[in-house]
Amino acid sequence: MPEFKLSKEAGTKKFELSIAIDYDEDGNIEAQEFYDGVDWSDNPADIRLNTSYCDEDEQDEWNLFFNDFMHLLESNELTEKAKTLKKVDDSYYFVEECIEIVLTEED
């Protein structure tokens, strides 16, 4: 399953998370998993609950990043762009959300 890193810089902090998306032959999502800092989960809410992503004073910025990530995920923008990334280090930058997605591991 191809793996992607999403990142966003907010001030002096760079927030990152990982997602793996598997597509079938027709380009439909077959499976997706989210790295919660410890293990892979099929529930993106597990990421939000993990407090190891940031210090307490950075929680507001983390919440903004997570909300932007969820917007991209729910609108299918994220999964549609991820499909177009074919080689390791291919990337796409979502301008409005200021989030970059990079293919880190091919299928």
Residue 73 scores a pLDDT above 80: yes
- Residue with the two structure tokens 């796409």: 92
3 state SS of 52: helix
Residue 104 scores a pLDDT above 80: yes
For the chain, give every domain's residue range: 3-105
Q: What average pLDDT is seen over the chain?
A: 89
The span from the CA of 51 to the CA of 81, in Å, is 28
Number of residues assigned to the chain = 107
Greater pLDDT, 39 or 34 = 34
Residue 3 scores a pLDDT above 60: yes
CA distances from 90 to 20, 33, 62, 66, 102 (A): 15, 20, 24, 22, 6
Evaluate if pTM is beyond 0.95: no
